């Protein structure tokens, strides 16, 4: 069943200093099934984050339709949660307080439900025992796990992730990729995941959407033919390497041209 539907999406920015419009996205169409993990890659400046912010309801758009469960998106909603590149936690709140914060904003849960869900998702991201710690007492990877728990606890229909591991070192990034797959396999949320790392996209996703250079268009869509669960050693599998190479070639065509 289709969860997220994007049809003919076009987005322009007005550049005030030049008195002109900049075409960021042009005629983008994409559908994401319920429970599917879709990654979006493409050259820098192709509009990946713009697309995600439109789905989040943080940006308007000029032409087309963006809908979740058949309902047009016209602004932020409780059916979506965003995990940004930086954890953006509230420094004066503990881990438990930060996880609870999204539920408090949505006002969909009573106090008992919030307590139960806070404990559930702190455990799910492997942070039991850190409930009373503050963000300054956590590593970058732990902070991003809190960010993920906060997003999941609010029970969104679609989880939007904008390069959530980009600020982490290589070892922590691989660990977080593995943890995300474990969490996703349990929570089974629909995920739209933005990344510059093609091997990250191949490791995590069911499908990979390749965007063209600006104005961003859907240039190609690749199914990932690798069964789950996926241990890290799968990155050495010939199927993994071949798919990564094919996507790189498509991205590099526009990278060289731009």
pLDDT (tens digit, 9 = 90+) per residue, 125-135? 889 999 999 99
- For residue 197, being part of any structural domain is answered with yes
Q: Are 188 and 35 in contact (CB under 8 A)?
A: yes
Burial code (b: 16+ CB inside 10 Å, e: under 16) for 178-189 equals bbbbebbeebeb
- For residue 119, being part of any structural domain is answered with no
Q: Are 1 and 70 in contact (CB under 8 A)?
A: no
Query: What does the pLDDT look like over 61-104, one tens digit per residue?
Result: 999 999 999 999 989 988 999 998 887 899 999 999 999 998 99
- For residue 139, being part of any structural domain is answered with no
| Selection from 242, 208, 235 nearest residue 222 by Cα | 208
pLDDT of 186: 87
Task: Read off the pLDDT band of 176 (50, 70, 90).
Answer: confident
- For residue 245, being part of any structural domain is answered with yes
Q: Is residue 247 scored above 80 in pLDDT?
A: yes
- For residue 30, being part of any structural domain is answered with yes
CATH at residue 71: 3.40.50.300
Q: Are 147 and 180 in contact (CB under 8 A)?
A: no
pLDDT of 102: 85
pLDDT of 171: 87
Q: Is residue 257 scored above 60 in pLDDT?
A: no
Task: Read off the pLDDT band of 255 (50, 70, 90).
Answer: low
- For residue 147, being part of any structural domain is answered with no
- For residue 172, being part of any structural domain is answered with no
- For residue 61, being part of any structural domain is answered with yes
CA separation (Å) from 56 to 87, 160, 172, 203? Answer: 17, 7, 27, 24
* Number of structural domains the chain divides into: 1
Lowest mean pLDDT, pick from 21-25, 119-123, 203-207, 254-258: 254-258
Domain that holds residue 224: 1-75+190-258
Q: Is residue 258 scored above 60 in pLDDT?
A: no
178 CB-near residues (< 8 Å, 6+ apart): 232
Query: What does the pLDDT look like over 145-165, one tens digit per residue?
Result: 999 999 999 899 999 999 998
Instruction: Tabulate helix, strand, coil % of the chain (nearest 5).
Output: 40, 25, 35
Q: Is residue 256 scored above 70 in pLDDT?
A: no
């Amino acid at each position: 069943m289709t969860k997220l539907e994007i049809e003919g999406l076009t987005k322009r920015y007005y550049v005030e200093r030049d008195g002109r419009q900049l075409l960021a996205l042009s005629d983008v169409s994409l559908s994401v099934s319920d429970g599917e993990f879709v990654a979006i890659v493409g050259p820098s400046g192709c509009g990946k984050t713009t697309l995600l912010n439109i789905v989040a309801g943080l940006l308007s758009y000029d032409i087309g339709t963006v809908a979740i469960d058949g309902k047009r998106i016209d602004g932020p909603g409780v059916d979506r949660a965003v995990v940004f590149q930086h954890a953006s936690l509230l420094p004066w709140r503990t881990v438990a307080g930060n996880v609870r914060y999204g539920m408090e904003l949505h006002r969909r849960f009573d106090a008992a439900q919030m307590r139960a869900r806070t404990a559930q998702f702190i455990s799910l991201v492997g942070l039991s025992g850190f409930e009373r710690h503050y963000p300054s007492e956590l590593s970058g990877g732990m902070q991003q796990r809190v960010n993920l728990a906060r997003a999941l606890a609010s029970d969104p229909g679609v989880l939007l992730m904008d390069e959530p591991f980009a600020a982490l070192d290589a070892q922590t990034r691989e660990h977080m990729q593995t943890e995300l797959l474990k969490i996703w396999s349990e929570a089974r949320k629909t995920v739209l995941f933005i990344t510059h790392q093609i091997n990250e996209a191949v490791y995590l996703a069911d499908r990979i959407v390749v965007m063209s250079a600006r104005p961003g268009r859907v240039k190609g869509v690749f199914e990932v033919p690798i069964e789950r669960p996926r241990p890290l050693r799968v990155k050495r599998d010939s199927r993994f390497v071949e798919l990564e190479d094919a996507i790189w070639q498509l991205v590099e065509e526009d990278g060289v041209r731009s």
